[in-house]
Amino acid sequence: MSDPTKPPGAEPGQAAVAMDLQEEADRLQAELEEARPPHAGPISQIAAALVALAVGVFGAVGSYALGLGQLTQPGPGLWPFAISVVIIVLSAVLVVTGRGLQDTERFSRSSLMTAVGLVTLVGLAALLPVIGFEVPSLLLMFIWLRWLGKESWRSSIVISVGAVAAFYVLFVLLLQIPLPRLI
């Protein structure tokens, strides 16, 4: 008679290793469940979806005002409009299906990190038309990586500079999107 927990053809040592890995995975899953913040409830879930829906609508209206252009000659509002439409659709799905989900967390001190991210994003939007996208984007990425993401100074600097350079090449040089810019 064969052991039902043992995979066919497995050696006794392999079965013991598989059992140890499964026990370790179960232990880690239990630790993650204990460390997880408490669920905020279905009203918070729906409210978060409605906030995201409002942000999507605001973004779609604002990007439409910037001008969508055409696919062969995209305007500055085309990509933000496309992203806003995706946000609207996903938020609407979340409004309909979100009541039973367990994804929202109660507000805590760690929720302040989200507020810092939002404030820096608003700062980017305010500085963009004044001094172009290069410096505000560089500062935003650096702040997010270094203080919100807890990356090292070196990683934060290298990734920020590289990402802004990649954005410049992609959007300004290749796609020729008329972004406000310093250079």
pLDDT at 53 over 90: yes
Which pLDDT score is estimated for 89?
97
CA-nearest of 83, 81, 59 to 70 is 81
Of 106, 133, 161, the position where a domain reaches its end is 106
As for how many domains the chain has, the answer is 2
pLDDT tens digits for range 65-85:
999 988 888 889 999 999 999
Q: How high is the pLDDT of residue 7?
A: 54
Contacts of 92 (CB under 8 A, 6+ apart): 53
Q: Confidence band (pLDDT; 50, 70, 90) for 3?
A: low
What is the rounded distance in angstroms from the CA atom of residue 121 to the CA atom of residue 131? Answer: 15
User: In terms of residue numbers, what domain contains 96?
Assistant: 31-106
Spacing of C-alpha 8 from chain mean position? 42
Judge whether 14 lies within some domain. Answer: no
In a domain, 165, yes or no: yes
Instruction: Note the pLDDT of residue 160.
Output: 96
pTM over 0.85: no
Mean pLDDT of 24-48: 85
Are 88 and 57 in contact by the 8 Å Cβ rule? The answer is yes
Are 49 and 95 contacting, i.e. CB atoms less than 8 angstroms apart?
yes
Q: Read off the pLDDT of each residue in 97-115 and give the average, rounded to a whole number.
A: 80
Tell me: pLDDT of 47 over 50.
yes
